[in-house]
C-alpha cells in the first residue's frame, strides 16, 4: 500500500491488489469465515469486513447488533466485551474466552464463533439467561450501559469454570460507575456451583444453630451466629445478605446447572469444528487505516511475508498495542499479519529438561493457566512468579488475546513481564526466513539484552520472535519474586514493576549471595537491570545490613530527575527501594521454608547435612513480605437492611397533591411504594435491548460528525483553513462560526453567563486546549475524523503562560469575582478560666474528578419539513436547556425543536450543562446540510474537554476549647475556599455556594467565617458532579477537625461526637436543626447506633493491637457523619411537571420532566402512579423524556427529581382520580381500573392530566446579598433573613476500616458500614443501590481517582493546560477488586419526612461523601505508620490518597532517603489543583 497526498490530503493506493492473483495461487482465501450468535455471517456482510475494522465496529455498523457498547476504545472498561469460541484441534475441545471487541480486529475472528449479548438471552418470550435474570433480580444494573459487557464476561467465565474462586479471580476487565459492584458480585456468586451455604459452623462442622450445646457454648462462631439470629428475628427490618441471595439461587438455577452452563457449547457451529486450513488475505482500497490483512498458516509463510514486504507490515495477535496506536495516535499500518493458531511452535507451551518453552504468540491467559498447572511440580519456582505477575497483568479480556511476543517487541518501559523474564535469564529465540524459504535461521538473545532504547529492540524487520526459553530455577536456595505497584490493583499499568531473582549458598554459619538479578520497569525509558546493585550484592552475606547498604547503590543507579517523564520521581525511587526490602524479607521467609524442607527430606538433599539458620525476622516485620501480587483476591459480602415495606404519607398529606377522595388500600398486597422493585429497564439492560442515543438506528442519508478542536490555549485564533479537509474522501463539509452566523444563529452559550461559544470565532482567544472551533461531517466516521484532523488552524503567539492551577489564579488574581460569597456568624462560645484554647492554621487540597459515565456524550439530530424542524436525540440531564440552545444556535423557534431523551448511560452531573455544546454542533450541521447528523464523542475527547468536579484549596484558621472535663468544643472556623472553575463560568458559582453551605459539616461552629472564590483558569469549564461542591466543603471541614484533634491530642472521633449539631442549634446560613425547620435531626442517633451495633471501642482496640504487631502493615478506622441539603439553591428551579395518560385498558403512561440516568427515577415514578391508581407497577410505563410532552423542564439534578416529579405525577394522578370518582361510585364495588376508565371514556371524561409541583416558597432560595431587615426578629438565627436554602437534610453515617501496605502505598478496604436516613424509602433496593454507588464513587474521588493537567507540577506534559487523564489507561475509577470486603448498608427506621412525597428523602448525592471515610481511615493508618518513625506531628494528606501519597506520607527512612532535602520538612507529591 502506498500513502500519497492529493493536494495535501492523505489517501491510499493499495498496491497489494496487483498481487491478489499470486496469493490465490499460494492457496489464500479472500473471504473470512465469520459466525455470530450461532449463525454464519452471510457473504454479503462478511465481505464488508475490513483489515482495520474492529469487531465492535463490524457488529454494530454492519450487523446492527448494538448490545455491545463502545465505552473507551482502548480495552479499559469492558463495555464492548464479547465471547470468542474456537475449536482447539489438539485438545478436541471448544475454547471460550472473552475479548474487548473495541480492540479485536474483525478479521481476527476468522474461523471463530462470536457470542454477543444478543446471543445470551432476550426479553422476548421471557428468555433471559440465568446470568441475566440474576442481574435483574439482584439489582445489578442501574444505568445499564456497562451491563451487557459484564454479563458476557460472566458468561465466558461460567463457560470455563463455574466456581466461585475462578469468577472472583478473573472478573477484572469490566468497570461500572453506578452500582458499587456489590449487587453484581452477588448476582455472579449466586450461580457458582460451589457457593457457600452461608451457615455458620463450628470446628466440628456442625451448624451452630443445630448444636445441642447452643446455649452454653461460648466459642466465637456461636456468639456471631447468635447475633445473626437476633438480626433475622427483627420484624421491623428486612434484611438481605449475600448468603441469602446465594441460597435463593441455589434452590432455583443450581438444581440443574448443566442446562444453561452448556449453552455456549450447544451454540457452537459444527462447521467450525473443521475450520479453514488455508491462509487468508483481505485487501481494502477504500479510505481506511490499513489496506491488507494476511493470516498465514505456517511459520515459513509468515517469514516469507516479512521478507517479501521488507518489514512494511505489523504483526497482530491481540491488537492491544496496534489498536491503541491506530485509534489514538492515528498510525497507519499498510499491512497487518495475524498468525494462524495452526503454527504450533509460536502458540505451544512445552516443558523441556531444564527450561519451559513459551510460544511467542501464546495468549497470556494460556500461559497463566499453564503455570498454575506447573505450580507444585518441577518448574514451580519459575511457574509461580509468572502466574502471580500475570494475574495482575491488564485484564482477563486483554490476557485472553495478548501475547508475550507482542509485549516484548513493543518494549514498553513499564511492562510487567519484561522485567520478570529478564531477571529469570530468559532467552528469545528469533527466527528469520531465507531467500528460498526452504530453511529458517534462528538466533538467541537474552531478554536483558533485547531492549536497546525507548521502544527500540534487537529485532530486524524480517525477523520474528518464535518462542521464549525460561530456564528452571534450582530446587532450593534460588528464589524469584515479582513486584508491582500501580494506581489501582486490577487492570492498571505499573508505576514501578520488578522481577528479582537471587541464588544463595550456605557458607559456614551464614548464607552467601551466589548470584542475583534485579530487573525494573518504570525506572528508565526501557526495561533495565540494576547491574551495580547486583554486583554489590553478589558474594556478600544474605543479611538485612547487606540489603540496607545495597539500597544506597540502587538509589545512585536510579536517581530520577524531578521532571522525569511520567512524573512521581520520588515515589518511583521509594518503590524501588521498598521492593528491594520486600525482596529480602520474602527471600528470608522462603529460605526458612527451604531449610525445613531439607531437614524433613535428608535423603534427597545429602549435600546439605547441616545448614545455618535463616536470618531472624521479628514477628513485627513479617508482614513486609506480604503482597497483593501473590495473595488471593478477597471475596466481598454485604448485608442490606431496610424497613418493612409500607405506604407512608408525606408532603401530600398536607394538601400538596392528595385528592383525599378515598382511603387507599395499603394492605401488603397493594403496597407499591416502599417495595424493593427491580429497575424498570433492568431486563433490557441485561439483554442489550435497551437503546441509548448511539444505538438509535440512523435514518437513510445520515452523516457522521467530528469536532474540530484547538490544540493549544491562551493564544489568538488567527485562521481556519478547511480546504484539505474538504478534499478528504468522504468529507461532506466543515462548518465553523461563519456558517452558524449565516443561519442567523446565536453563537454564544452558557447556563448562567453566556461566556462560551458554539464555535470559537476567528480573532478570539483560545480559552482551553480542545475548545471547539468547528465540526466536520462525513459519510463515515472515519472520513469525518480524518477531515477534522486535516483542518489547518493558525494561532497567534503566546504572550504569557496559561493560568492552569488554583495557585496560578491566586497569583494572577484571576477570579470570577461576581460569584465571590461570604458567610459570617458570631455566637461567641463561653470560655472559663480553666479552659484551654487550641488554635491551628493550614491548608487543604482536594482534587477534581472525572465523571466517567460509561456512555460518552452523544447526539443525533434529524431535520424535517425542509429543515424547519429538528428532532434531537441526545444523552442529557437537561432536555429544555438542550432544546433552547439548539434552537438559538440554529435560529429555529423552540416550538420546532423537539429533544428526546430515552436513557443515559450515566450522568452524575456531567450531562447537566456540558452536553449542550455537542448537541448544538450537531444541530447546526444538520440544519445546514439537511441530513441527519450523529455526533458521539470519543472517550478521550469527552474526558479532555467536558470538565469535571472542581478542585479546591482551602486555607483556614480554626480553634477549639478543651474544657476542664477534657471535652473539646469547637470555637471558630475561619476558612477561605478557592475552586478551579476552568475557563468559563458554567456552574462554578452555585458549586462554590453549596460548598459554603456544607463547610460547617454536621458540626456546630459558634464563630464561623467562610468565603468562597471560584477561580478562572485555562482548564475546560468545570461543572456539576454528584454533590455539587458539598463534598469539597465537607472534606475541608473534616480535615480541619483532624488537625484540631491532633493538636488537642485526642481522637478525631471524639471531637466529631462532641460537636455534632444538637436539636435547635442553627447552621451558619440560618437553618435550625429541628423537625419544623429542616426535618428531624438524626445524626446523633445514627452515630450512637453505629457505635453500639459495631462495638466501636472493641474494634478500635483490635486495630491498635494489630498495629502494634505489624510494622509494615497498618490499619485505620473512621466514623464519619454527614448532612446534605436538599433543594436547588436557586429558587425558580424547584419546580417540576408531569403528564399522565390513563388508557381504557387500565394502563398508565407517565411523561415527566426528569431524565433517567440509572438512578431509577422512572421506576419510582411508576411506583407512585401505581400506588395512586392501585394497579400493578407493570401497568405503568414511562417512555422517554421529551420537550414536546412536558415543557420548560429543570435539569435532573440536585437529587431533587423524585421530590419534584413524584409529586407532580401524584398531582396528575389525583386529578384523574377525582374525575373518576363519580364513575367509581356508580360501578359495583371492586370494579377494575380498566372498567372504570372505559366507562369514563364513554362519559366523555378527560383521562389525561398535567401535574405540577413547586417546593414551598418559604423552604427554598437564598439571597446572598440581602441585608438584614430592620424589623427582623432579634432571636432568629443569623443569616436566616437571606432565605432557606434547603427543604430538608438527608443524613448519614459511615464506619470504615482499611489496611495499608506501608512499603508500597497499596490499600484495601476491610469493611464499611453505612447507615442513611432516607425517610420512608419509595424503593429500598434502588436507594441502597444509590448509596452503594455513591459511596464507591466518593471513595474513588478521595483515593485513586486523580485528574492530571499539563501544569507546573507536570512539566513533562505539554502543551500547557492539556488534560492528561483522558481514558481508563490514565484515569482509574474503582474496579471490582476495590470494593470493601464487607459492605453493609442500612436504611434508618422510624424516620418520617413531611417535606417530600410519601415521606421519602432524596438519595442520589448525599451518600457520596461517606465514601471519603476511606480517605480518613487511610489517614488514621498513616498516623500509625508515622509513629514507627517517631513522627507524631500534624501533616496534610491531600486528596486523593493515591498510592504515592500514602507511601510518601508514611515518612520512613526509605522515603526520606528518596526525597532528599525538602523545604518545610514535609514533602508533598505533585498534583493538579
- Active-site residue set: 1405
Answer for the pair 1462, 1438: CB distance below 8 angstroms, yes or no: no
**Is the bond into 1440 cis (omega within 30 degrees of 0)?**
yes
Pull the grid cell for residue 930: 439537511
- DSSP character for 764? S
**Residue 1377 in contact with residue 489, Cβ under 8 Å?**
yes
- Residue 698 in contact with residue 934, Cβ under 8 Å? yes
Beta carbons of 1156 and 906 less than 8 angstroms apart = no
Relative to beta strand 463-471, strand 427-433 is: antiparallel
Q: Which three cell numbers stand for residue 1107?
A: 498495629
The CB density around residue 45, as the number of other CB atoms within 10 Å, is: 15
HEC readout, 717-729: EEEEECHHHHHCC
Q: Could you tell me if 1052 and 1041 are in contact, meaning their C-beta atoms sit under 8 angstroms apart?
A: yes
- Quick check: bond before 405 cis, omega within 30? no
641 vs 670, 992, 1086, CA distance in Å? 22, 35, 14
Task: Judge whether 1289 and 1123 are in contact, CB under 8 Å.
Answer: yes
Block residue for cell numbers 477534657 = 966
Contact status, residue 1002 vs residue 1083, Cβ threshold 8 Å: yes
- Please check whether residue 1356 is in contact with residue 567, taking contact to mean a CB–CB distance below 8 angstroms: yes
On the CB side of 694, how many CA atoms lie within 13 Å of its CA?
A: 26
DSSP-assigned beta bridge partners for residue 3: 12
As a whole number of angstroms, the distance between CA 1056 and CA 1029 comes to: 21
Q: Output phi, psi for 61, to 5 deg.
A: -90, -35
**Residues 532/556, Cβ–Cβ less than 8 Å:** yes
**Which helix (H) or strand (E) covers residue 840, if one does?**
strand 836-846
Cell for 257? Answer: 446447572
Residue that is written with C-alpha cell 487523564 in the block:
1365
CA distance 1217 to 1234: 13
Question: Could you give the CA distance from residue 800 to residue 787 in angstroms, rounded to a whole number?
Answer: 31
Phi/psi for 505 (5° steps) reads -140, 130
Q: In 10 A of CB 462, how many CB atoms? A: 17
Question: Can you tell me the distance from the alpha carbon of 129 to that of 146, in angstroms, rounded to the nearest whole number?
Answer: 17
| Cα of 34 vs its chain's centroid, Å | 33
Which residue carries 438524626 as its cell? 1082
Q: Are 31 and 14 in contact (CB under 8 A)?
A: no
- Report the C-alpha gap between 66 and 124 in whole angstroms: 16
Inter-CA distances, 1390 with 666, 669, 670, 1199, 1347, Å = 18, 22, 21, 22, 41
Give the DSSP H/E element, type plus range, for residue 470: strand 463-471
Q: Specify whether the CB–CB gap between 906 and 1155 falls below 8 A.
A: no
Tell me how far the alpha carbon of residue 788 is from its chain's centroid.
Answer: 29
- Dihedrals phi, psi of 1092, to nearest 5 degrees: -70, -45
The DSSP line for 173-213 is S---SSS-SHHHHHHHHTT-TT------B-TTS-BGGG-TT
CA-atom Rg of the chain in angstroms: 33
Amino acid at each position: 500500500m502506498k500513502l500519497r497526498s492529493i493536494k495535501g490530503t492523505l489517501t491510499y493506493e493499495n498496491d497489494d491488489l496487483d498481487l491478489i492473483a499470486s496469493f490465490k495461487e499460494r492457496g489464500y482465501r479472500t473471504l473470512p469465515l465469520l459466525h455470530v450468535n450461532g449463525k454464519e455471517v452471510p457473504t454479503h456482510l462478511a465481505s464488508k469486513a475490513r483489515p482495520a475494522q474492529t469487531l465492535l465496529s463490524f457488529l454494530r455498523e454492519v450487523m446492527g447488533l448494538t448490545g455491545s457498547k463502545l465505552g473507551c476504545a482502548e480495552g479499559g472498561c469492558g463495555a464492548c466485551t464479547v465471547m470468542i469460541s474456537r475449536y482447539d484441534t489438539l485438545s478436541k475441545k471448544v475454547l471460550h474466552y472473552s475479548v474487548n471487541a473495541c480492540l479485536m480486529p474483525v478479521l481476527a475472528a476468522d474461523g471463530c464463533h462470536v457470542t454477543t449479548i444478543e446471543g445470551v438471552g432476550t426479553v422476548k418470550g421471557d428468555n433471559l439467561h440465568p446470568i441475566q435474570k440474576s442481574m435483574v433480580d439482584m439489582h445489578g444494573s442501574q444505568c445499564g450501559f456497562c451491563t451487557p459487557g459484564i454479563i458476557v464476561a460472566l458468561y465466558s467465565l461460567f463457560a470455563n469454570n463455574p466456581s466461585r474462586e475462578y469468577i472472583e479471580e478473573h472478573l477484572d476487565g469490566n468497570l461500572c460507575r453506578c452500582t458499587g459492584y456489590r449487587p453484581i458480585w452477588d448476582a455472579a456468586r449466586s450461580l457458582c456451583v460451589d457457593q457457600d451455604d452461608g451457615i455458620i459452623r463450628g470446628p466440628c462442622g456442625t451448624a451452630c444453630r443445630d448444636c445441642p450445646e447452643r446455649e452454653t457454648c461460648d466459642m466465637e462462631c456461636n456468639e456471631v451466629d447468635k447475633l445473626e439470629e437476633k438480626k433475622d428475628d427483627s420484624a421491623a427490618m428486612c434484611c438481605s445478605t449475600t448468603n441469602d441471595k446465594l441460597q435463593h439461587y441455589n434452590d432455583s438455577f443450581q438444581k440443574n446447572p448443566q442446562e444453561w452452563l452448556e449453552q455456549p457449547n450447544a451454540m457452537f457451529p459444527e462447521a467450525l469444528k473443521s475450520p479453514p486450513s488455508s491462509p487468508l488475505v483481505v485487501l481494502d482500497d477504500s479510505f481506511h487505516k490499513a489496506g491488507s490483512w494476511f493470516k498465514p498458516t505456517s511459520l515459513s509463510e509468515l517469514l516469507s511475508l516479512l521478507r517479501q514486504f521488507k518489514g512494511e507490515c505489523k504483526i497482530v495477535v491481540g491488537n492491544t498495542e496496534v489498536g491503541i496506536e491506530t485509534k489514538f495516535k492515528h498510525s497507519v499500518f499498510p499491512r497487518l499479519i495475524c498468525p494462524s493458531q495452526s503454527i504450533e511452535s509460536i502458540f505451544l507451551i512445552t516443558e523441556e529438561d531444564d527450561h519451559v518453552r513459551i510460544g511467542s504468540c501464546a495468549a497470556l491467559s494460556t500461559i497463566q493457566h499453564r503455570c498454575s498447572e506447573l505450580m507444585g511440580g518441577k518448574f514451580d519456582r519459575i511457574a509461580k512468579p509468572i502466574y502471580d505477575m500475570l494475574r495482575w497483568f491488564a485484564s482477563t479480556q486483554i490476557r485472553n488475546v495478548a501475547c508475550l511476543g507482542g509485549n516484548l517487541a513493543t518494549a514498553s518501559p513499564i511492562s510487567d513481564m519484561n522485567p520478570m523474564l529478564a531477571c529469570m535469564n530468559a532467552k528469545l529465540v528469533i527466527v528469520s526466513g531465507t531467500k528460498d524459504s526452504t530453511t529458517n535461521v534462528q538466533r538467541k538473545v537474552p531478554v536483558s539484552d533485547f531492549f536497546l532504547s525507548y521502544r527500540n529492540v534487537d529485532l530486524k524487520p524480517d525477523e520474528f520472535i518464535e518462542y521464549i526459553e525460561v530456564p528452571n530455577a534450582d530446587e532450593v536456595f534460588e528464589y524469584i519474586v515479582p513486584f508491582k505497584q500501580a494506581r489501582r490493583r486490577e487492570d492498571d499499568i505499573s508505576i514501578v514493576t520488578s522481577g528479582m531473582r537471587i541464588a544463595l549458598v550456605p557458607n559456614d554459619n551464614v548464607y552467601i549471595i551466589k548470584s542475583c538479578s534485579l530487573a525494573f520497569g518504570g525506572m528508565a525509558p526501557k526495561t533495565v537491570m540494576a547491574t551495580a546493585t547486583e554486583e554489590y550484592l553478589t558474594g556478600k552475606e544474605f543479611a538485612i545490613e547487606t540489603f540496607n547498604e545495597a539500597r544506597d547503590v540502587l538509589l545512585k543507579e536510579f536517581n530520577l530527575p524531578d521532571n522525569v517523564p511520567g512524573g512521581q520521581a520520588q515515589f518511583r525511587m521509594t518503590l524501588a527501594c521498598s521492593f528491594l526490602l520486600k525482596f529480602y524479607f520474602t527471600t528470608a521467609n522462603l529460605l526458612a521454608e527451604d531449610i525445613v524442607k531439607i531437614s524433613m527430606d535428608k535423603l534427597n538433599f545429602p549435600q546439605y547435612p547441616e545448614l545455618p539458620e535463616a536470618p531472624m525476622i521479628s514477628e513485627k516485620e513479617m508482614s513486609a513480605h506480604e503482597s497483593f501480587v501473590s495473595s488471593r483476591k478477597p471475596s466481598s459480602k454485604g448485608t442490606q437492611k431496610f424497613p418493612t415495606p409500607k405506604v407512608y404519607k408525606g408532603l401530600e398529606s398536607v394538601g400538596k397533591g392528595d385528592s383525599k377522595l378515598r382511603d387507599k388500600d395499603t394492605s401488603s398486597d397493594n403496597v407499591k411504594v416502599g417495595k424493593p422493585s427491580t429497575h424498570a429497564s433492568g431486563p433490557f439492560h441485561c439483554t442489550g435491548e435497551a437503546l441509548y442515543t448511539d444505538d438509535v438506528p440512523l435514518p437513510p442519508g445520515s452523516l457522521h460528525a467530528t469536532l474540530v478542536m484547538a490544540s493549544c490555549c491562551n493564544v489568538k485564533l488567527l485562521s481556519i483553513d478547511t480546504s484539505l479537509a474538504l478534499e478528504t474522501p468522504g468529507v461532506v463539509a466543515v462548518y465553523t462560526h461563519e456558517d452558524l452566523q449565516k443561519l442567523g444563529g446565536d453563537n454564544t452559550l452558557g447556563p448562567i453567563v453566556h461566556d462560551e461559544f458554539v464555535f470559537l470565532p476567528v480573532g478570539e482567544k483560545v480559552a482551553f486546549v480542545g475548545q471547539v472551533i468547528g465540526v466536520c461531517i462525513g459519510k463515515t466516521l472515519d472520513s469525518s475524523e480524518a477531515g477534522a484532523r486535516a483542518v489547518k488552524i493558525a494561532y497567534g503567539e503566546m504572550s504569557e503562560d496559561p493560568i492552569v492551577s488554583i495557585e496560578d489564579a491566586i497569583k494572577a488574581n484571576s477570579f470570577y469575582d461576581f460569584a465571590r460569597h461570604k458567610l459570617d456568624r458570631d455566637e461567641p462560645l463561653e470560655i472559663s478560666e480553666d479552659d484551654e484554647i487550641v488554635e491551628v492554621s493550614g491548608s487543604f487540597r482536594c482534587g477534581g474528578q472525572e465523571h466517567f459515565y460509561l456512555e460518552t456524550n452523544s447526539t443525533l439530530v434529524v431535520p424535517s419539513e425542509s429543515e424547519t424542524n429538528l428532532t434531537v436525540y441526545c444523552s442529557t440531564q437537561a432536555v429544555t436547556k438542550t432544546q433552547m440552545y439548539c434552537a438559538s444556535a440554529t435560529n429555529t423557534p423552540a416550538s420546532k425543536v423537539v429533544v428526546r431523551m430515552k436513557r443515559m448511560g450515566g450522568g452524575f452531573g456531567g450531562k447537566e450543562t456540558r452536553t449542550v455544546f455537542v448537541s448544538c454542533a450537531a444541530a447546526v450541521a444538520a440544519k445546514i446540510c439537511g441530513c441527519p447528523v450523529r455526533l458521539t464523542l470519543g472517550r478521550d475527547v469527552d474526558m479532555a474537554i467536558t470538565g469535571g468536579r472542581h478542585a479546591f484549596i482551602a486555607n483556614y484558621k480554626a480553634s477549639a476549647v478543651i474544657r476542664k472535663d477534657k471535652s473539646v468544643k469547637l470555637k471558630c472556623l475561619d476558612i477561605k475556599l478557592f475552586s478551579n472553575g476552568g475557563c468559563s463560568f458554567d456552574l462554578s458559582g452555585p458549586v462554590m455556594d453549596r460548598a459554603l453551605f456544607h463547610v460547617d459539616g454536621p458540626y456546630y461552629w459558634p464563630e464561623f467565617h467562610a468565603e468562597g472564590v471560584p477561580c478562572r483558569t485555562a482548564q475546560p469549564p468545570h461543572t456539576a458532579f454528584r454533590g455539587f461542591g458539598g463534598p469539597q466543603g465537607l472534606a475541608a471541614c473534616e480535615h480541619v477537625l483532624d488537625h484540631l484533634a491532633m493538636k488537642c491530642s485526642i481522637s478525631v472521633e471524639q471531637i466529631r461526637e462532641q460537636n455534632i449539631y444538637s436539636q435547635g442549634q442553627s447552621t451558619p446560613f440560618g437553618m435550625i436543626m429541628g423537625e419544623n425547620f429542616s426535618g428531624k435531626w438524626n445524626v446523633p442517633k445514627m452515630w450512637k447506633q453505629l457505635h453500639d451495633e459495631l462495638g466501636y471501642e472493641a474494634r478500635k482496640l483490635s486495630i491498635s493491637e494489630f498495629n502494634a504487631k505489624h510494622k509494615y502493615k497498618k490499619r485505620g478506622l473512621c466514623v464519619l457523619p454527614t448532612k446534605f441539603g436538599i433543594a436547588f439553591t436557586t429558587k425558580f428551579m424547584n419546580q417540576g411537571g408531569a403528564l399522565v395518560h390513563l388508557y381504557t385498558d387500565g394502563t398508565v403512561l407517565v411523561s415527566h420532566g426528569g431524565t433517567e440516568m440509572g438512578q431509577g427515577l422512572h421506576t419510582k415514578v411508576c411506583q407512585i402512579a401505581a400506588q395512586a391508581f392501585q394497579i400493578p407497577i407493570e401497568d405503568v410505563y414511562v417512555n422517554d423524556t421529551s420537550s414536546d410532552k412536558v415543557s420548560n423542564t429543570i435539569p435532573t439534578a440536585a437529587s431533587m427529581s423524585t421530590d419534584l416529579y413524584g409529586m407532580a405525577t401524584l398531582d396528575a394522578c389525583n386529578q384523574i382520580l377525582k374525575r373518576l370518582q363519580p364513575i367509581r361510585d356508580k360501578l359495583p364495588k371492586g370494579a377494575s381500573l380498566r372498567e372504570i376508565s372505559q366507562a369514563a371514556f364513554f362519559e366523555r371524561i378527560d383521562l389525561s392530566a398535567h401535574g405540577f409541583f413547586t417546593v414551598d416558597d418559604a423552604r427554598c432560595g437564598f439571597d446572598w446579598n440581602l441585608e438584614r431587615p430592620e424589623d427582623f426578629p432579634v432571636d432568629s438565627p443569623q443569616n436566616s433573613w437571606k432565605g432557606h436554602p434547603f427543604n430538608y437534610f438527608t443524613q448519614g453515617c459511615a464506619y470504615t476500616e482499611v489496611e495499608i501496605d506501608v512499603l508500597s502505598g497499596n490499600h484495601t478496604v476491610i469493611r464499611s458500614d453505612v447507615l442513611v436516613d432516607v425517610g420512608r424509602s419509595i424503593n429500598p433496593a434502588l436507594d441502597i443501590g444509590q448509596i452503594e454507588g455513591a459511596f464507591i464513587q466518593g471513595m474513588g474521588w478521595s483515593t485513586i481517582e486523580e485528574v492530571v493537567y499539563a501544569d507546573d507540577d507536570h512539566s513533562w506534559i505539554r502543551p500547557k493546560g492539556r488534560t492528561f487523564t483522558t481514558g481508563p489507561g490514565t484515569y482509574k475509577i474503582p474496579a471490582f477488586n476495590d470494593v470493601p470486603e464487607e459492605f453493609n448498608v442500612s436504611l434508618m427506621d422510624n424516620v418520617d419526612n413531611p417535606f417530600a412525597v410519601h415521606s421519602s428523602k432524596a438519595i442520589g448525592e448525599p451518600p457520596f461523601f461517606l465514601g471519603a471515610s476511606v480517605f480518613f481511615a487511610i489517614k488514621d493508618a498513616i498516623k500509625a505508620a508515622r509513629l514507627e518513625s517517631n513522627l507524631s506531628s500534624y501533616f496534610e494528606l491531600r486528596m486523593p490518597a493515591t498510592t504515592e501519597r500514602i507511601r510518601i506520607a508514611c515518612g520512613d527512612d526509605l522515603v526520606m532517603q528518596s526525597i532528599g532535602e525538602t523545604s518545610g520538612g514535609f514533602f508533598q507529591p505533585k498534583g493538579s489543583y
